Every structure is written in C-alpha cells, then in structure tokens.
C-alpha cells in the first residue's frame, strides 16, 4: 500500500485510549457535509456476515499460512481458554495481552495489502446489502460514516475504504519501525470501549452525539447504542432485540429463517478463537520460512 499508516490515538481524562483512521481521500465526500452528525456501524454480523477477522484468517489459510490441522488444534485451545476466562471475567489482562500477538513482527504495509486482497476475495460478497444502503443514506445526507470494530484499525480502514466510508475505529496495535510489536495501545475495541472511543472522536471532530446514529447486532454494544441519539439494532441477538423493543429502537433484520441462526455468531468469541488460530498459523509460517 502506498500510503503510510495514519492512526490517530487519543486518551481522555479517565485514561481511556482509542484509535481511529480515516479511509483514503478518494472515498465519497458529501458536497454539503453535515459536520455535527455521523453514523457508527459495527462490522461483524452488522455490516458483514460473520467476523472480519475470521475471513482474514480464511484468506491467510488459502495462502498456506497454516494447515487445517493447525486450525482445528489451535482453535480448540483458544476456545478452551475463553471458556475458562469466562469464569474469571474480572481479569481480562491475559486476553488483552494475547489479542494481537498473531501479528507480531509483521509489516503494517503487508497486513494492509493482505487485507485488501482478502476483502475483495472473501469479505465483499458477504457485505449485507441492506446495511450498506443504510450507510449510504447517511453519506447522501452529508454525514460521515465510521466503522467500529474489535479488529485492528488498519483492517477496519481497508474495509471502510472499499465501501467508500469515512474511516474506522478499531483496536490499536503498537508499531515500531513499521512493524507490529504484538502489544496493544490502550484496550480492545469491545463493549464499553466502543462507546468511549466514539465519545472521544465526537469531542475531537465536533460531533453532537445526540444527532448521531449507531448500528449493531450485539448486546455487547449496548453502551455504544446508548451513547447516541438514534440507536438501531441490525440483525440483533436475542438480548439486543428485547432491549430494542423495550426502548422503541429501530430494528432492521436482513437475515431469513435458519440462515439467521447460523450467521449470528457472537463476534467476540470469533475474534478470540481466530486470533489464537492465526497466531499459531503465522508462528508456524515464520518457522517454516526461517524468520
């Protein structure tokens, strides 16, 4: 990728750190922008069927970064860890430390290049047309549209650029000399962290959150939905659907029948499992290449 990494990192008075990155300047810019309103879209199961990090891993697997046996073995190990961690939900330090270990040593440009290729191959066909239309309505109204994802912010930026959106808010990985260290800057972009990041972005960009909209499929994103004036449940899980009905929130569901049950996988579980899988696969790949 020709452009360099441009990730804005902001820390508020409470020590919460968030990162966001604008997409390429060539993306759609309204002729008469509304600078005080914006829309925020969750990615996994909201904008896209399944988890973006899962499709990223699938793309890496297709490029022989790891075998099917590696995939199954390490997926089970990561799933077992998550089940045990759930019993000790107060301690997220181990999950945080492991979250982006899979990209340690990778060049930022390589990850963005692979993200572009894999988006075109595997993610683009799985974008919900209905959700994409909702985002376009905001753009047509002169509003900025941001993706909000637990995936690394660089991957989110690639997806946003491909969809013609403003940019992405995501998990920030530490970079030294153009390569990832495997450590995080701040927290995982999950749950309350999304609301905190959106609040920080609003302060920097001059947004009125009361005039903003947020879209998500998951009850994990209730803090984000409650932070804006127009919350919308898209392809909602059971808990979010009940909450939306209680509060009179708009509900959009682009799934049908059994397909809805199959696709609505908890995105955090997918991120945790696949991060472990990808980490193992890339470690194996590096050993095979002697790097």
Do strands 230-234 and 250-252 pair parallel, antiparallel, or not at all (unpaired)?
A: parallel
* Residue 288 DSSP label: H
Tokens of 155: 């991957």
* Residue positions annotated with a catalytic role: 42, 44
Buried b (16+ CB within 10 A) or exposed e, 155-168: bbbbbbbbbbbbbb
What DSSP element (H or E) covers 79? helix 68-86
95 forms bridges with which residues in the sheet?
A: none
Do strands 167-171 and 250-252 pair parallel, antiparallel, or not at all (unpaired)?
A: unpaired
Question: In a 3-state reduction of DSSP, which class is residue 165?
Answer: coil
Buried b (16+ CB within 10 A) or exposed e, 227-260: bbebbbbbbbbeebbebbeeeebeebebbeeeee
């Amino acid at each position: 990728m020709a452009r360099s990494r441009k990730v804005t990192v902001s820390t508020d008075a409470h020590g919460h750190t968030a990162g966001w990155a604008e997409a390429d300047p060539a993306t759609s810019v309204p002729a008469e922008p509304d600078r005080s309103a914006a829309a925020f879209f969750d990615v996994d199961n909201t904008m896209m069927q399944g988890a973006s990090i899962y499709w990223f891993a699938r793309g890496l697997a297709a490029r022989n970064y790891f075998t099917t046996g590696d995939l199954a073995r390490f997926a089970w190990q990561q799933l077992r860890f998550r089940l045990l961690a759930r019993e000790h939900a107060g301690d997220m330090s181990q999950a945080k430390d492991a979250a982006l270990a899979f990209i340690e040593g990778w060049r930022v440009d390589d990850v963005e290049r692979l993200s572009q290729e894999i988006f075109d191959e595997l993610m683009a066909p799985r974008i919900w047309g209905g959700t994409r239309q909702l985002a376009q309505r905001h753009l047509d109204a002169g509003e900025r549209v941001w993706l909000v994802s637990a995936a690394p912010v660089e991957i989110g930026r690639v997806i946003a650029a491909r969809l013609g959106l403003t940019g992405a808010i995501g998990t920030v990985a530490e970079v030294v000399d153009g390569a990832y260290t495997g450590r995080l800057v701040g927290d995982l972009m999950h749950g309350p962290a999304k609301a905190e990041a959106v609040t920080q972005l609003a302060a920097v960009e001059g947004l009125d959150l009361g005039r903003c909209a947020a879209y998500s499929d998951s009850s994990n994103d209730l803090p984000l939905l409650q932070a804006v004036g127009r919350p919308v449940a898209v392809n909602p899980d059971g808990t979010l659907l009940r909450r939306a009905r209680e509060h009179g929130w708009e509900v959009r569901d682009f799934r049908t029948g059994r397909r809805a049950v199959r696709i609505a996988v908890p995105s955090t579980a997918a991120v945790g499992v696949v991060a472990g899988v990808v980490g193992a696969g890339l470690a194996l790949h590096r050993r095979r290449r002697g790097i």
